[in-house]
Amino acid sequence: MVGGGWLLALVPGVGCSGGDHQRPDAATSVMDAATMNAPPIADSAPADAPGVASDAGTPEAGSPGDTVRDVAKDAVPDTTAPGDVVAPDVANAAEVAVEVAPPPDAAVSPDVDIPDAPVDVADAGSVDTAAPDAPVAMDTQAPDVSVDVAPADVAPSDVGPLADPILAQPLAATIGLVLEEVVTMPQSHPSPNPTDPRLQRSSRINYLGEVPDGSGRLFVPDLNGRLYLLVGGTARVYLDVGAQVGADFWDHRGLGTGFGFVAFHPDFRSNGRFYTVHTEARDALGTKTPDLPSQANPAHQGVLTEWTAADPGADAFTGTRREVLRLGFSSYLHGIQEVGFNPNAQPGDADRGLLYLAVGDGGVGIATGDPQDLGKPHGKVLRIDPTGNNGANGRYGIPNTNPFVGRPGVLGEIYAYGLRDPHRFGWDTGPGGRLLLANIGEHNVESIYEVRPGDNFGWPEREGPFQVRRGDSTCSVFPLPANDAASGFTYPVVAYDHDPSPGFPRCLDTGDAIMGGFVYRGTRAPALVGEYVFGDIVNGRLFHAHASEMRRNEPPAAIHALAVVDQQGRTVTMQTLAGDSRVDLRFGRDAAGELYLLSKANSKIWRVTSTVPLP
């Protein structure tokens, strides 16, 4: 993705402590493969091509029809473990894995044991083939949703893989932004020390939000275990989740492991409740049982916990906790990536106090088909009532407005499904109140979806607005089949492809991983109002799209690049600001709708403060 963009200007900090993408043109239909896509690739990469089978590892011997797929997105092998896969660029690759995909006509068992569990995703996990250490709410009414299996895809036999799925260039913008440095967060480290250099960061800060009690306190979770409050420009430890969990807390292998996220109840000021997700391994794998159907041979468990503060106004936590839900995943990635409440739901609304969970496919979605299995929680958006008791373990409730409630053999917790790695979601607090979700792709396409109850986003049959053929050795996507309308899949409102350089091996990771953001509704940057701001995790590139153009069942919205300039008007990059080629970009938002940028590389947080015209 090249071309113009908005500029971000930088001002001195206050309160401080211490492969180009491309996208379809807005006028191009995603359904029209003939006009949207480049000519197909002539030949598949040979099995021994550099960076494909010989560089990524091989599937278990004696598995006819297996193919090696390098799924990479932010995972890297532990180089000390025998049999691990080695990423060609450990510092900047997004995720690297060996995934054994069954042939296209093979029946896929939801409980298949994958020889080398795939590992991928920005912020999700690292490859380890050895055993673990231990023996939207705006529409809450359920639609008329069929859970029948979609008809088999029908496509012309002469249609090959797409060399460049999305061709169009981004549109240039004419507005600049000013960034103000807010704070440098305390350094932190996983325990024990990781061998993955991408876990060896200044810290692993993951988000910024505002405590919903009117105090103005901002909160920042760190995957290495601590929850911080920003008070008077200084970071203070509010709760050490890792220390509370104890020996089973797992944060040193897998980029998304550790203390993943936190969501404060909208009535926190009166009830003191907030919810965290963290990962456990070691003894937990043998002594604790997941509450919903687990994937085979789990490498980690994702745990949702409710905390109740004795004094909601205190700047350090004292109180109680209880476990709400526990899920099992086959690898160290694509676990429970985020939890959150709908900020638009007012007292008395049906969605008030209901908790949404973005649950990844465990890194094995393409091999098992779990995201399409409505009897499993993996690759789904779940919605629960944390104060109810009709859930599987009696410690949470299932809202009766969920789309699949009462369907035999279907988890009533499911709100939407067909996702690979739903890394971030957030509601537009403006007109419509839509729920928007970023889904990290495998080899080809990064996507933003509008989420409604019952939606099926297609993975692993679709990646973005394209067909996936399991068993394809080119790691490619294909045009949609002729009978696609019968599939019922929902396609992205924003999408961009990885656009590797000419000659780049097809199955090698390009280092692209979308980081979802927000529709800006603040007042400091008027030119951003109504713009969905997002970026790329690894290289830190910033983008935006007009929210008004992000419409379901229409071509994806145009993408605009955002840039950064210094005080002398010189263009710089987030890599320059972060002091590292790997930015590990994240976004945050306060109660006023103002936007924040975070980097794990140097633990800094910046706030967007104003807009300026470009020269």
Residue 600 inside a domain? The answer is: yes
Q: Are 567 and 577 in contact (CB under 8 A)?
A: no
Q: Are 477 and 463 in contact (CB under 8 A)?
A: yes
CATH value at residue 451: 2.120.10.30
Q: Where is 224: in which H helix or E strand?
A: none
Residue 265 inside a domain? The answer is: yes
Our count of domains for the chain comes to 1
Helix (H, G, I), strand (E, B) or coil at 608: strand
pLDDT for the residue 508: 82
Residue 37 inside a domain? The answer is: no
pLDDT for the residue 74: 39
pLDDT for the residue 290: 98
Residue 82 inside a domain? The answer is: no
* DSSP code per residue over 248-275: TB--SSSTT-SEEEEEE-TTHHHH-EEE
- 586 forms beta bridges with 598
pLDDT for the residue 566: 67
pLDDT for the residue 158: 57
Q: Any idea what the Cα angle at residue 108 is, between residues 107 and 111, rounded to 5°?
A: 140
pLDDT for the residue 499: 83
* Pairwise CA distance, residues 534 & 545, whole Å: 8
pLDDT for the residue 100: 35
Residue 411 inside a domain? The answer is: yes
Residue 298 inside a domain? The answer is: yes
Q: Which two three-digit tokens encode residue 442?
A: 């495998």
Residue 31 inside a domain? The answer is: no
Q: Are strands 514-519 and 5-11 parallel, antiparallel or unpaired?
A: unpaired
Helix (H, G, I), strand (E, B) or coil at 588: strand
Q: Are 434 and 138 in contact (CB under 8 A)?
A: yes
* Amino acid making up residue 496: Y
Q: Which two three-digit tokens encode residue 379?
A: 């690759």
Residue 372 lies in domain: 175-465+474-485+494-613
Burial (CB count within 10 angstroms: exposed 0-12, middle 13-18, buried 19+), residue 449 = buried
pLDDT for the residue 396: 98
Question: What is the block-wise mean pLDDT of the chain (615 residues), using blocks of 10 residues?
Answer: 43 37 36 38 33 31 32 37 36 41 36 35 37 38 42 62 81 75 96 91 97 97 98 95 98 93 98 98 97 97 98 98 98 96 97 98 95 98 98 98 97 98 96 97 95 98 95 91 95 92 82 94 94 95 95 95 73 89 97 97 93 72
Helix (H, G, I), strand (E, B) or coil at 390: coil
Residue 166 inside a domain? The answer is: no
